[in-house]
């Protein structure tokens, strides 16, 4: 994919417009200061409201860009620009990119927007969801053994797989690079053959082949093939995106390149969720997951990128760590990197979190498979006596920015995501341990340095006998016993959410297998409650909790789901409290964007993760849930019951896996706060610009109006 493909007609259209229809632009009443560029955007149709003005420079330590939206009079202000030479242009729905012109802070710059000469040219700038929604979904009567689709697969299973569980769980679908077939893959008689070859490419091939060819019996190949064939023949999206409205016009997007062109980032961390003033104006740390052991660090004040690397010597003999699906040698050549091994991690840093001291806690692999003796059967450790653990996939580490040293923490339980609790001991809770809750008392760890003394774990057990305490329990697969409690099975935990309201800890469960839902673990009783997702929702992925204890979850059904336990009418424990006993606790909010046709009212959005802004660190209000809008090139925030889209318009194809927010200066108003994220697509070269593009760090701020500076 080349950048020219997105704006190849721009220069011709601009020239024609300048000759045929010159206009007078006025910058009156547009504010400016020494750090801003401002002006007016017009076209032959007049003032262009709700379009983006983009400024980009390569003069700093890394590529830097800032984007704003015009007001209803076509006016714009690009604020807080570092001193540099910029290329500035206009992008918007119904337009093609304008000519890139020179600009510098402190000067007015009026811009001429270029109307798209055709619907096809306009559609090149649509978010991926408008193209992805063109994919055909088998009708409901084709499932459950009634067609070539494997028996026992439901329409919800199908959608969950091709949305936020597998396909869009790793990268965006629908941008130019995925709605077309790379010629480097060869010649194919039809799209289905091309897709069969495409999913064998690269080091993540098993993550594509297994769900498509295994779980779904290769049937999706003909649907994906039909999709790209129709697009190749000229079919266009059936819906058109609206221009930003309301608060969406107050958004300021700033991006920095970091990382490299071959290795992706999972996400970044900027602050402590419990107190977003921690690490104010400080460095940002990236999580590369499978890609590399070199963790990028960005100083947003200087645009300088550095790296930290866990020390050699950790007993990790194989790349990708134990148990991971990524492979060293691709099944078939990548269209971009051939058979080159571009991922080479051993540490496998999935997720980071700041503590109140500004230290960085990481989920990473410390050693080869196996656990310390104190974790296993025969140990005197009380947790091992109750539930021994023989192996895990990933442990913990801590990096102290002051000393620049790593400390490895050997956990018995596996780790994936991590969050600090709101207790005095700064307990660090993790997901990824299978069917157990795992925690580390960081106060005890700081005092003793002993991983054994500081950690604990417990299996997820339902109080099915209803006596309010943890008793002997049956294990998954064993017959029910009315006198015992019941341990739940399934695919383990994914998101982890300590509840500030009552000290409980919540998890998303059934993300990759089993019935999807959420689980509540009580650290005092060690008992668990399970709540499966009610219709029309299905397919949970990432989630978070607000300060009142309401859980918010990204769903493959195209909804943001919320669960309020206080609404439950049935008993919360006992023989009937096995997951389907509180449908009234669920509320669903449809994500923005068009849905797949023929399957009812839906959104094709496939959100990866949801984060809740408990402290108004972004500027949209307290307890506002914000989801990654992975098919909408940005984020979707639920503000006063309505979805607000926060799009990153350049480069096209932005995809995030995580987010948080930070308050750099509580006295600085909108300038002192904002959302932070990193592009998390496993294939950063698939976005606009193509091969050579790198991941980005992203800052999104909300101004009081489109001209604030």
pLDDT of 313 reads: 52
**Are 49 and 74 a contacting pair, CB within 8 Å?**
yes
Do you know the residue count of the chain?
709
| Statement: residue 115 has pLDDT above 70 | yes
**Are 559 and 595 a contacting pair, CB within 8 Å?**
no
Q: Residue 143 domain-assigned?
A: no
**Are 610 and 542 a contacting pair, CB within 8 Å?**
yes
| Statement: residue 18 has pLDDT above 50 | no
- CATH number, domain of 50, equals 2.60.40.1120
Residue carrying the six token digits 């801590």:
398
Please compute the mean of the pLDDT values over residues 59-88 and round it to a whole number: 98
- CA 149 to each of CA 143, 156, 169, 707: distance values in angstroms, whole numbers, following the listed order: 6, 13, 22, 54
Estimate the share of the chain in helix, then strand, then coil, as percent rounded to the nearest 5: 15, 30, 55
- CATH number, domain of 540, equals 2.130.10.10
Q: Which two tokens stand for residue 639?
A: 């503000």
> Among 99, 125, 151, which residue terminates a domain?
125
Q: What angle do CA 288, 694, 297 make, to 5 degrees?
A: 50
Q: Which two tokens stand for residue 504?
A: 């409980």
Whether residue 121 is found in the same domain as residue 252: no
| Statement: residue 321 has pLDDT above 60 | no
Whether residue 582 is found in the same domain as residue 443: yes
* Nearest in space to 399 (alpha carbons), one of 444, 346, 358, 437: 358
| Statement: residue 314 has pLDDT above 60 | no
Would residue 156 be called left, alpha or beta, if left means φ above 0 and alpha means ψ between -120 and 50 degrees? alpha
Cα pseudo-dihedral 228, 230, 234, 240, rounded to 10: -80
CB atoms within 10 A of CB 151: 9
408: Cα separation from own chain's centroid: 26
Please compute the mean of the pLDDT values over residues 418-435 and round it to a whole number: 96
Q: Among 10-14, 57-61, 510-514, where is mean pLDDT lowest?
A: 10-14
Which residues neighbour 247 within 8 Å (Cβ) at sequence distance 6 or greater? Answer: 620, 639, 644, 702
Q: Residue 233 domain-assigned?
A: no
Give the DSSP H/E element, type plus range, for residue 428: strand 427-430
Residue 612 phi/psi, 5-degree rounding, is -110, 130
Model pLDDT for residues 453-475, shown as the tens digit of each residue: 999 999 999 999 999 999 999 99
Residue 367 banded pLDDT, cuts 50, 70, 90: confident
pLDDT of 1 reads: 37
**DSSP characters for 501-539?**
TTS-EEEEE-SSSS--EEEEE-TTT--EEEEEPPTT---
Q: Which residues pair with 76 in a beta bridge?
A: 39
> Among 125, 158, 192, which residue terminates a domain?
125
Give the integer Cα–Cα distance in Å for 445 and 450: 6
**Are 418 and 429 a contacting pair, CB within 8 Å?**
yes
User: What is the reported pTM?
Assistant: 0.95
Q: Residue 207 domain-assigned?
A: no
Q: Residue 296 domain-assigned?
A: yes
pLDDT of 497 reads: 98
Q: Residue 394 domain-assigned?
A: yes
| Statement: residue 152 has pLDDT above 80 | yes
The half-sphere exposure of 129 on its side-chain side, counting CA atoms within 13 A, is: 28
| Statement: residue 369 has pLDDT above 70 | yes
Q: Which two tokens stand for residue 79?
A: 């604020």
**Are 408 and 420 a contacting pair, CB within 8 Å?**
no
Give the integer Cα–Cα distance in Å for 547 and 477: 37
Residue carrying the six token digits 């919540």:
506
pLDDT of 2 reads: 39
**Are 520 and 565 a contacting pair, CB within 8 Å?**
yes
**Are 271 and 352 a contacting pair, CB within 8 Å?**
no
pLDDT of 116 reads: 98
Contacts 24+ apart (CB under 8 A), 153-159: 153/215, 153/216, 155/599, 156/538, 156/539, 156/556, 156/557, 157/215, 158/216, 158/220, 159/538, 159/539, 159/556, 159/557, 159/596
Q: Residue 314 domain-assigned?
A: yes
Give the integer Cα–Cα distance in Å for 497 and 25: 52
Residue 186 banded pLDDT, cuts 50, 70, 90: very high
Q: Residue 221 domain-assigned?
A: no
Give the integer Cα–Cα distance in Å for 534 and 538: 7
Cα pseudo-dihedral 612, 618, 620, 625, rounded to 10: -10
- Would the CA dihedral through 46, 49, 51, 54 be positive or negative? positive
| Statement: residue 134 has pLDDT above 60 | yes
> Among 75, 105, 125, which residue terminates a domain?
125
**Are 699 and 648 a contacting pair, CB within 8 Å?**
no
DSSP 8-state assignment for residue 363: E
| Statement: residue 495 has pLDDT above 80 | yes
Q: Residue 185 domain-assigned?
A: no
pLDDT of 28 reads: 60
Whether residue 119 is found in the same domain as residue 261: no
| Statement: residue 98 has pLDDT above 80 | yes
Give the integer Cα–Cα distance in Å for 562 and 558: 13
**DSSP characters for 578-633?**
SSSS-GGGEEEEEPSS---TTSSS--------EEEETT-SSSS-TTEEEEEETTTT
pLDDT of 27 reads: 61
Q: Which two tokens stand for residue 661?
A: 């927010």
Residue 19 banded pLDDT, cuts 50, 70, 90: very low
| Statement: residue 320 has pLDDT above 90 | no
**Total of domains in the chain:** 2
Model pLDDT for residues 635-663, shown as the tens digit of each residue: 999 999 999 999 999 999 999 999 999 99
Cα pseudo-dihedral 546, 563, 557, 644, rounded to 10: -40
| Statement: residue 21 has pLDDT above 90 | no
What domain range is 11 assigned to? Answer: 3-125
Residue 327 banded pLDDT, cuts 50, 70, 90: confident
């Amino acid at each position: 994919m080349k950048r020219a493909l997105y704006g190849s007609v721009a220069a011709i259209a601009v020239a024609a417009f300048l000759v045929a229809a010159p206009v007078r632009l006025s910058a009156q009443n547009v504010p400016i200061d020494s750090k801003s560029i401002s002006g007016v955007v017009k076209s032959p149709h007049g003032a262009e409201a709700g379009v983006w003005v983009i400024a980009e420079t390569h003069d700093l330590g890394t590529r830097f860009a800032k984007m704003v939206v015009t007001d209803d009079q076509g006016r714009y202000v690009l604020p807080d620009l570092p001193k540099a030479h910029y290329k500035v242009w206009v992008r918007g729905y119904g337009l093609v990119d304008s000519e890139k012109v020179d600009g510098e802070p402190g000067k007015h710059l009026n811009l001429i927007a270029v109307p798209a000469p055709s619907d096809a040219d306009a559609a090149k700038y649509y978010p991926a969801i408008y193209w992805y929604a063109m994919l055909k979904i088998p009708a409901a009567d084709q499932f459950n053994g009634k067609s070539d689709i494997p028996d026992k697969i439901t329409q919800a299973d199908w959608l969950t797989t091709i949305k936020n569980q597998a396909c869009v769980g790793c990268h965006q679908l629908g941008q130019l690079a995925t709605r077309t077939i790379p010629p480097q893959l060869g010649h194919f008689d039809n799209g289905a053959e091309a897709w069969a070859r495409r999913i064998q490419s690269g080091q993540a091939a098993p993550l594509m082949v297994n769900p498509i060819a295994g779980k779904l019996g290769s049937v999706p190949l003909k649907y994906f093939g039909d999709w790209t064939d129709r697009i190749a023949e000229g079919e266009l999206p059936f819906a058109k995106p609206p221009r930003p409205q309301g608060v969406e016009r107050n958004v300021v997007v700033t991006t920095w390149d970091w990382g490299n062109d071959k290795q992706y980032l999972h996400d970044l961390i900027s602050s402590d969720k419990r107190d977003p003033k921690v690490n104010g104006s400080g460095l940002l740390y990236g999580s590369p997951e499978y890609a590399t052991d070199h963790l990028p660090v960005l100083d947003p004040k200087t645009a300088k990128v550095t790296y930290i690397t866990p020390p050699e010597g950790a007993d990790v003999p194989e790349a990708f760590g134990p148990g991971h699906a990524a492979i060293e040698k691709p099944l078939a050549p990548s269209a971009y990197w051939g058979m080159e091994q571009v991922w080479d991690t051993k540490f496998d840093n999935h997720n980071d979190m700041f503590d109140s001291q500004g230290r960085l806690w990481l989920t990473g692999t410390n050693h080869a498979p196996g656990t310390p003796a104190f974790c296993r059967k025969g140990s005197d450790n009380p947790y091992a006596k109750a539930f021994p653990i023989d192996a895990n996939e990933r442990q913990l580490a801590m990096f102290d920015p002051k000393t620049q040293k790593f400390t490895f923490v050997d956990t018995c339980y596996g780790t994936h995501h991590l969050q600090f609790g709101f207790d005095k001991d700064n307990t660090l809770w993790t997901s990824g341990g299978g069917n157990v809750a795992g925690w580390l008392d960081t106060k005890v760890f700081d005092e003793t340095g002993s991983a054994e003394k500081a950690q604990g774990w417990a299996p997820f057990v339902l109080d099915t006998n209803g006596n309010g305490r943890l008793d002997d329990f049956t294990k998954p697969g064993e017959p029910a016993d009315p006198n015992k409690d019941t341990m739940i099975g399934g695919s383990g935990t994914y998101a982890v959410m300590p509840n500030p309201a009552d000290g409980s800890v919540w998890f998303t469960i059934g993300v990759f297998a089993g019935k999807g839902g959420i689980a509540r673990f009580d650290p005092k009783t060690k008992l668990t409650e399970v709540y499966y997702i009610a219709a029309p929702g299905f397919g949970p992925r990432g989630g978070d909790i607000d300060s009142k204890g309401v859980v918010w979850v990204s769903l493959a059904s195209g909804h943001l789901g919320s669960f309020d336990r206080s609404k439950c009418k049935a008993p919360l424990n006992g023989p009937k409290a096995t997951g389907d006993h509180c449908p009234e606790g669920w509320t669903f909010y449809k994500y923005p964007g068009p849905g797949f046709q023929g399957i009812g009212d839906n959104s094709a959005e496939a959100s990866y993760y949801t984060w809740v802004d408990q402290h108004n660190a972004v500027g949209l209000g307290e307890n506002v849930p914000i989801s990654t809008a992975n098919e909408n090139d940005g984020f979707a925030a639920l503000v006063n019951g309505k979805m607000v889209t926060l799009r990153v318009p350049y480069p096209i194809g932005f995809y995030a896996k995580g987010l948080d927010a930070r308050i750099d200066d509580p006295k600085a108003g909108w300038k002192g706060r904002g959302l932070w994220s990193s592009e998390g697509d496993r294939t950063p070269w698939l976005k606009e610009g193509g091969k050579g593009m790198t991941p980005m760090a992203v800052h999104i701020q909300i101004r009081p109006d489109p001209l604030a500076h």
